[in-house]
Amino acid sequence: MGAAMRRIHVGNALSAFGLGFTVPYLYVYVAQVRGLGAVTAGLVLAVFAVAALIVLPFAGRAIVRRGPLPVLLAALVTAALGAMGLGLAGSAAAVLAAAAALGAGQAVMQPALATMIVDSSTAETRSRAFATQFFLQNLGLGVGGLIGGHLVDTTRVSSFTLLFAIEAAMFLLLAVVMSTVRLPHAPRVEDVPQSAGGSWKRLLGNRAMVQLCVLGFVLFFACYGQFESGLSAYGVEAAGISTSALGTALAANTAMIVVAQFAVLKFVERQKRSRVIAAVGLIWAVAWVVAGYAGLGHGSQEMATAAFVSTYALFGLGEAMLSPTVAPLVADLAPTGLAGQYNSAFALVKQLALAVGPAVGGPMGASLHAPYIVTFLLFSLGITYLALRLGRQLTPVQDQPWLARKRVVARGGAVAEPVTAEA
């Protein structure tokens, strides 16, 4: 890795570390510690999603025009102000305003950092770069959550203020680190309409990108959108899982990602991306079958708990396979200079899935146990179908970048980044 990529990865770890301090305790903080009630706490979580949906359509255009670094720095400052505002807010209006700032800042960070990774990598190194990013994000979230859990005290507001202050400090420290990054010269944007509407029209005209966005929605809806809503509700209500066992399951998910990420990377890099994503759908289908046994089977409580923990671990294995696959594919589908626009569009799809997923899965997981499992088992199989269908829209190099390197090595030439072909 070059110096720029090292700093970007340090920045990813710092931001995840800061988020890990507060995300698991946000609901308890608003509803109980500040005494604002469950309704306000629910609105805070909704505000995060709404703020992201509002800013992301504009973030892509800003990244294309201004570059990812200025946009990232503005997002970091906004997020830091939001985090500190949450720690000090005592009224519902102040909490919601701070949540909007934090949510908007967090949302814009994702495509900005992703575009910086694209600009600092080649088609050869991109999969490994995104895998490293995902690894460090999960490690940072896990370590931050672990330390935050030991610092927090629900009887003292000051302990939560400290957590949010640490989160804000992490964002500001990240801004300092990122300001030292020297990115390669941004490529010239080729034949891009000047209006925002024109660039979105061009994106929607890219059939492969549209199919990838549909696939991405199903991926995030059927997995990430269920972790802290439908699946946890199902585990508690149907499988009788204790809160401590639920924490163990979440830890198993993170541990699987940390352990498996680089073990699967070398294998994934040499496979067709569409087939890797299709395999993830099958793995997650098995995970939902195991979850079905945990809640609907007639085994012992110990067996149900083990099955439920295994479900989260299987999801983690699928996530480890996706991290070096999906994000680099978004970048390879983007025309020259439009990686920021495409990253923002995909982040918007992700936020939509994360907003709809809990709303659909939460009530189903809590009360409609068998239909819940069957529904998301079918969604996982749908991932496999959509991935194979997407493969037919990709060029050979887009689907399997390893081919480009093999061709160059066979000719005895220097490795060069292949020209991206728009589907």
* One-character DSSP codes across 56-118: HHHHHHHHHHH-HHHHHHHHHHHHHHHHHHHHH--SHHHHHHHHHHHHHHHHHHHHHHHHHHH
**Global confidence as pTM:** 0.79
DSSP state, 419? P
The burial class, CB within 10 Å (0-12 / 13-18 / 19+), for 10 is middle
Q: Is the pLDDT of residue 276 over 60?
A: yes
- Express each pLDDT in 282-292 by its tens digit: 999 999 999 99
- Contact assessment for residue 259 and residue 139, using Cβ atoms and an 8 Å cutoff: no
- Express each pLDDT in 246-258 by its tens digit: 778 878 888 898 8
Q: Which position has the higher pLDDT, 201 or 97?
A: 97
Q: Which position has the higher pLDDT, 23 or 86?
A: 86
- Contact assessment for residue 16 and residue 143, using Cβ atoms and an 8 Å cutoff: no
* Rounded percentage of the chain residues whose pLDDT exceeds 90: 23
Pick the closest to residue 209 from 394, 61, 396, 56 (CA basis).
394
Q: For residue 185, name the pLDDT band (cuts at 50, 70, 90).
A: low
- Contact assessment for residue 372 and residue 365, using Cβ atoms and an 8 Å cutoff: yes
- Express each pLDDT in 321-376 by its tens digit: 998 899 889 888 888 778 888 888 898 898 888 888 877 887 888 888 899 999 99
Pick the closest to residue 187 from 80, 295, 17, 334 (CA basis).
334
Phi, psi (rounded to 5 degrees) for 233: -65, -40
DSSP secondary structure string for all residues of 127-152: HHHHHHHHHHHHHHHHHHHHHHHHH-
DSSP state, 33? I
Quote the CA–CA distance of 90 and 336 in Å, as a whole number.
47
Residue 230 structure tokens: 């439908």
Q: For residue 17, name the pLDDT band (cuts at 50, 70, 90).
A: confident
